[in-house]
Amino acid sequence: MSNLNKLDFTALEVSGRKYLRWVQDVKLRLIAKNLRLAIEEETDNPVGEAEKATAMIFIRRHIHDALQTEYLAEEDPHVLWVVLADRFDHQNDIFLPEARHDWQHLRFEDFKYVNEYNSEVCRIRSLLKFCNEILTEDDLLEKTYSTLSSQI
């Protein structure tokens, strides 16, 4: 009986925490189930009522109970998708200033091991890429060279 309630991935929290991961998980699962069109804008290929219902059930299963109650009146998965995006899709506004700050203050000499520095560079680079700011290889090399201590 407990397998009936088992989720494919973590449900979207009321706070919207990890919204971006949730979006990716839902999109991938809907693609796998051939239901992605149910959350897309109007397309040339109309989505049947059964597909919409299946997508809606899947999305509702993967949002917090309070969100399910709040959006109980929504019957179209595309409308629910847009409403949730309007509510939670402000992550870029949060991540971009933080990533820029971290990049600006990143110094090679602040790390005990090269792997720690590389890991932090990868994290910051990923955040910037997510926010549509690309760091080139030259940027990475310049950052490393410019932050090396002259005593090394």
Q: What is the pTM of this model?
A: 0.67
d(CA 11, CA 13): 6
Task: Fill in the DSSP letter of residue 48.
Answer: P
Are 139 and 106 in contact by the 8 Å Cβ rule? The answer is no
Residue 1 pLDDT exceeds 90:
no
The radius of gyration of the chain from alpha carbons, rounded to an integer in Å, stands at: 21
Tens digit of pLDDT for each residue in 95-144?
A: 889 999 999 999 988 899 999 999 999 999 988 888 788 999 999 889 88
Residue 150 pLDDT exceeds 80:
no
pLDDT at 57: 94
Q: Which of 122, 123, 111 is nearest to 149 (CA)?
A: 111
Contacts 24+ apart (CB under 8 A), 30-33: 30/55, 30/58, 33/58
The helix (run of H) or strand (run of E) holding residue 118 is helix 114-130
